[in-house]
Amino acid sequence: MRISRGVPRRHRGPAAAVGVLSLLALPVLAGCAHPGTAAQPSHVTKDVPVPRVVPAEAGRAGRSAPQPAPARLPGLGPATLARVPATARQVVLVTGAGHDASRSTVALYRLDPVRGWVAAGPAWPGHNALRGWTSDHHTGDLRSPIGVFALTDAGGRLADPGTRLTYDHAPIGFTVHGTGFNGEPLAHAFDYVIAIDYNHVPGTSPRDWTRPLGASRGGGIWLHVDHGGPTQGCVSLPAAAMRTLLRTLDPALHPVVVMGDAAALSR
């Protein structure tokens, strides 16, 4: 009998060939992780997934960045914010330089449904009462009242510049003479005015002298044209700023003025 490399010819049938092929395949399969290979060792689990390395950027794909919280009115503390009506969509913010100071900064804000309170223009320099601010205003104290008040009515010596507020055009009624605390002329101070609803009946002219809180609590507190010095209780700002306010304030948006010194407003 003839022997081929020690294997009898009669044992070299199909089964023996498969066995040889299996043995030859073992070194290849040991380093291969491709699913679907014809033959695999019994200790290798079929279809084992290959771990993928995912870049950090890919994990963020499809996820929107967190949205910032709606902006709040700057400089206002919780007590002051609580006094701003929920219906208000426009705010004139008057921030005094100090409790006893007569200079202020005035800015207009509008409520954006997504971004919150956003500036509707630049800030303007202004004046308030000679002796500053008070939370208990009385006639003759030469202080401006601190608080949150509606803005509903306007008027002036000059014609209506295009406001949606009620406007009382009275060239004689809004004429003022004399000089201010610094000797500056007052002649154009009431060219444009907006009544601040402190001790004022909403829906009436700024010249209406009805005082719901009584005469001793003062009144006639207006936004009006700046004359270059302190006021007796009003807030004054440049004529161009007054025209901007008159053309921008909208009764449908329930505008209010938030006014006081910075420390009081931060409470």
Q: Is the same domain home to 182 and 115?
A: yes
Distance CA 20, CA 242 (A): 100
- Six-digit token pair at 263? 């420390």
* Domain carrying residue 131: 78-265
Are 191 and 239 in contact by the 8 Å Cβ rule? The answer is yes
Per-residue pLDDT 10s for the chain (267 aa) are 444 444 444 444 444 333 333 333 333 333 333 334 333 433 444 454 545 544 444 445 456 667 778 999 999 999 999 999 999 999 999 999 999 999 999 999 999 999 999 999 999 999 999 999 999 999 999 999 999 999 999 999 999 999 999 999 999 999 999 999 999 999 999 999 999 999 999 999 999 999 999 999 999 999 999 999 999 999 999 999 999 999 999 999 999 999 999 999 999
Task: Indicate whether 43 and 108 sit together in one domain.
Answer: no
In a domain, 82, yes or no: yes
- My answer on whether 181 and 82 are in the same domain is yes
Question: Does residue 40 form part of some domain?
Answer: yes
Instruction: Report yes or no on 67 lying in a domain.
Output: no
12 & 93 share domain: no
Distances (CA, A) of 37 to 15, 31, 45, 201: 20, 12, 12, 91
Task: Say if residues 261 and 173 touch (Cβ distance below 8 Å).
Answer: no
Three-state DSSP state, 245: helix
Q: Is residue 30 part of a domain?
A: yes
16 shares its domain with 136: no
Please state the separation of Cα 63 from the chain's center in Å. Answer: 24
Asked if the structure places residue 65 within a domain, the reply is no
Domain co-membership, 29 together with 90? no
